[in-house]
Amino acid sequence: MQKSTFYIAQMGRAEEEQKVLTRLKGQATVKRLAFDLATRQVDIWHTGEVRPVSSALSTLGLGARLLTTEYSERAETALDTSGEERKLLQLVLFINAAFFLIELAAGFWANSMGLIADSLNMLADALVYGLSLWVVSGTLARQKNIAKLSGYFQLAIAMLGFAEVVRRYLGAEALPDLWTMVGVSAFALVGNSVSLYLLRKSQGKGAHLKASMIFTSNDVIANMGVILAGALVYVTQSAVPDLVVGTLVFLLVARGAFQILSLAKN
């Protein structure tokens, strides 16, 4: 088995890393990838010649350049880490799916747009994690179709959310329940913090794990935002802070949707 190292000039963010991962997962000869965004390099374990891999990378237009190719006896050992990464993604997927249900129910109970938005953000993230798990073994065509469905679904969630924010702003809605907002958000903050700790502890270099860390970090920020909104609702006796936080969370969902749709086009 060969280990080829490529320098990719325009691979400075997780989005470009995900493009490389998606493109190379369609190559039957590619067995494993290890990314290093700091140096803009990717190690690729593959069978056969490096030319098909190099050609696939060149179509991305990210300035890929082959640095070295060598025989690697450690490739098989490296491949064994995929099972641990899959289990970790499954755990994060479960946490997001569980808190989607909890926060959605609590959001309607507490009349909190912030909680409802955060619950839908959890659902959107769960879709991304599910997509990451599917990418491990799926064909390139199936990966892109799933990515498109996930992106359009997230965009639909964001649009419905914005419409609900406007409706609540124009209507005479009751104030959100402070203690439900703060309590459930604090509970979700603990869950997301644990997920983020496990993801960082894994030290995985795959794009799917790094993307998971980015989304989970956003979840932590969203949880703290809902807690802050609860405090501001109490101080101002107005539902506006709750609606503002809900809007910001839906903007995060929309941003993620456009990122996924852009990835599916490449």
Alpha helix (H) ranges present in the chain? 14-24, 51-58, 75-79, 81-110, 113-135, 140-170, 178-202, 207-236, 240-265
The sign one gets for the Cα dihedral 189, 122, 194, 15 is negative
Structural domains in the chain (count): 2
Same domain assignment for residues 94 and 196: yes
Same domain assignment for residues 99 and 54: no
pLDDT digits (tens, 9 = 90+) for 53-112: 999 899 888 999 999 998 876 555 444 445 666 777 788 888 888 999 999 999 999 989
What is the predicted pLDDT for the residue at 5?
93
Q: Which of 92, 96, 73, 85 is nearest to 34 (CA)?
A: 85
Residue found under tokens 């959310």: 161
Same domain assignment for residues 122 and 65: no
Same domain assignment for residues 158 and 147: yes
Residue 61 phi, psi dihedral angles, 5° rounding: 70, 30
Same domain assignment for residues 73 and 86: no
Distances (CA, A) of 43 to 3, 31, 100, 207, 210: 7, 11, 36, 12, 16
What is the predicted pLDDT for the residue at 227?
92
What is the predicted pLDDT for the residue at 183?
92
Same domain assignment for residues 25 and 38: yes
What is the predicted pLDDT for the residue at 22?
79
Q: Which domain holds residue 20?
A: 2-79
Which of 24, 46, 79 marks a domain boundary? 79
What whole-number distance in Å separates Cα of residue 100 and Cα of residue 102?
Answer: 6
Q: What is the CATH number of the domain that holds 26?
A: 3.30.70.100
Q: Which of 87, 77, 89, 90 is nearest to 34 (CA)?
A: 77
Residue 171 per-residue DSSP state: T
What is the predicted pLDDT for the residue at 79?
44
Which of 79, 94, 123 marks a domain boundary? 79
**Global pTM?**
0.62
What is the predicted pLDDT for the residue at 78?
46
Distances (CA, A) of 132 to 99, 141, 179: 19, 15, 35
Same domain assignment for residues 38 and 96: no
Same domain assignment for residues 74 and 94: no
Same domain assignment for residues 108 and 88: yes
What whole-number distance in Å separates Cα of residue 154 and Cα of residue 218?
Answer: 15
Same domain assignment for residues 51 and 119: no
Which of 24, 51, 79 marks a domain boundary? 79
What is the predicted pLDDT for the residue at 65?
93
For every one of its 266 residues, what pLDDT tens digit does the chain have, with 9 covering 90 and above? Answer: 889 999 999 887 666 777 888 788 767 888 888 888 778 899 898 888 899 999 989 988 899 999 999 887 655 544 444 566 677 778 888 888 899 999 999 999 998 988 998 888 888 777 767 766 665 544 455 556 666 777 788 788 888 888 888 888 887 677 888 889 899 999 999 988 988 888 777 755 555 566 667 677 878 888 898 999 989 988 998 888 999 988 988 888 788 778 767 766 65
CB 212 within 8 A of CB 135: no
Same domain assignment for residues 101 and 60: no
What is the predicted pLDDT for the residue at 101?
93
Same domain assignment for residues 148 and 163: yes
